């Protein structure tokens, strides 16, 4: 679809942006450093320094949509203040006729702002067919594989995505529908250290991002597939959330508060539970003596931690509870299956977690 031309000159500096939008950038910067410090990616002292991200390269995933375009520019305007370098990463999924125009728009935007761009075109439909999975899953895997490959070119990379507070609402509802337990029910994490992933806009409402772009006189691309009701996320966004907001106009604030509580809970249990890693046989064994010394809440979180240490695949609450019931009843030999080809088997001396062959 046609899009307005980029302005001859985007605002050059944070100081050139209207005050409300400059404050938005600073709020995002504070959120970034707080979350990175909380996850142990940077020290508390570094977070309070004049250039907390000095030496870091922030890879902004930019599709050309409003969210990712705002992310790219916010990181760009924060760079002199926070010390990081910004590069853009764009993956053309080749699913829509307009996708080449999206790639061209991102290229023009990066050229106008003086931002280095890494861009690639991948036939996601072919990947979905080869992997026997849906287009959304194939696209997500392709994007993050590309981001990780590009991140490997830098010494201190942080992959930044444009997920915002409206996405958080959708994510919480999708997790509720799937049957996720606590604290996963609180929604996606702001930082995933093992993947060098950061979501700087996670508590920022989408309307603030579009207002920011309008104030900077910067256009963006619209993806018509965001209105396609065949996608679960779109049905939640366009049908369910408006109904919930009619019942509670502060629904977004409620979700953010839930997210904050879940993050605090997750951090606490990460600190107090023992570290877990598969042995040379790819198994994690938790002794009965360890389990008996924990409250039920601690055992449930230890099960989840063991399963997550085995790799991808989100354990659902019902399966976690089934494992707890089997252990409590001392059902020796009982095996519980989990997503990602994982199993937990009750043994005389404890529970053995492993991947199925």
Binding region for ATP: 63-68
Query: Which residue in 87, 107, 200, 92 sits closest to 151, CA to CA?
Result: 87
Structure token pair of residue 260: 């904050």
Q: Could you give the strand order of the β-sheet that contains 335-338, starting from the edge strand earlier in sequence?
A: 283-287, 350-355, 342-347, 335-338
* Structure tokens, 144: 């993050």
Q: Is 102 in contact with 74 (CB distance < 8 Å)?
A: no
Distance CA 252, CA 241 (A): 10
140-240-258-324 Cα dihedral, nearest 10 degrees = -70
> Do 154 and 226 meet the contact criterion of CB atoms below 8 Å apart?
no
Binding annotation: 63-68
Distances 124 to 66, 132, 294 between C-alpha atoms, Å = 22, 12, 46
Taking only Cα atoms into account, the Rg of the chain, rounded to an integer number of angstroms, comes to 22
| Cross-strand partners of 352 | 285, 345
| Close Cβ partners of 256 (under 8 Å, ≥ 6 residues apart) | 165, 168, 203
Q: Is 332 exposed, middle or buried (0-12, 13-18, 19+ CB in 10 A)?
A: exposed
Closest to 352 (Cα-Cα) out of 262, 285, 302: 285
- CA distance linking residue 115 with residue 41, whole number of Å: 25
Tokens found for residue 64: 């050309």
């Amino acid at each position: 679809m046609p899009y307005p031309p980029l302005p001859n000159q985007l605002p050059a500096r944070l100081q050139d942006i209207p005050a409300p939008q400059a404050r938005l950038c600073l709020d995002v910067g504070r959120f970034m450093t707080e979350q990175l410090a909380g996850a142990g990616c940077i020290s508390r002292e570094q977070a309070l320094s004049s250039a907390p991200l000095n030496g870091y390269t922030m890879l902004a995933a930019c599709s050309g949509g409003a969210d990712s375009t705002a992310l790219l520019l916010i990181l760009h305007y924060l760079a002199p203040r926070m010390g990081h370098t910004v590069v853009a990463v764009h993956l053309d999924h080749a699913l829509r006729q307009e996708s080449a125009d999206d790639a061209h728009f991102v290229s023009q935007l990066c050229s106008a702002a003086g931002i280095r761009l890494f861009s690639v075109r991948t036939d996601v439909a072919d990947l979905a067919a080869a992997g026997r999975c849906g287009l959304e899953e194939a696209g997500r895997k392709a994007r993050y594989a590309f981001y990780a490959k590009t991140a490997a070119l830098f010494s201190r990379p942080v992959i930044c995505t444009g997920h915002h507070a409206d996405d958080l609402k959708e994510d919480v509802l999708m997790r509720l529908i799937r049957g996720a337990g606590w604290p996963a029910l609180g929604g996606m994490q702001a930082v995933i250290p093992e993947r060098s992933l950061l979501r700087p806009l996670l508590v920022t409402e989408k309307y603030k991002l579009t207002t920011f772009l309008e104030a900077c006189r910067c256009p963006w691309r619209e993806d018509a597939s965001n209105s396609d009701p065949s996608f679960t996320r779109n049905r939640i966004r366009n049908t369910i959330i408006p109904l919930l907001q009619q019942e509670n106009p502060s629904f977004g604030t409620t979700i953010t508060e839930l997210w904050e509580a879940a993050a605090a809970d997750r951090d606490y249990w990460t600190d107090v539970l023992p570290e877990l890693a598969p042995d040379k046989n790819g198994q994690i064994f938790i002794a009965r003596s360890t389990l008996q010394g924990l409250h039920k809440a601690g055992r449930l979180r230890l099960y989840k931690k063991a399963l997550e240490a085995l790799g991808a695949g989100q354990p659902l609450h019902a399966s976690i509870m089934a494992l707890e019931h089997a252990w409590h009843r001392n059902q020796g030999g009982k095996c519980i299956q989990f997503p990602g080809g994982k199993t937990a088997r009750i043994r005389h001396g404890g529970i053995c977690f492993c991947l199925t062959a």
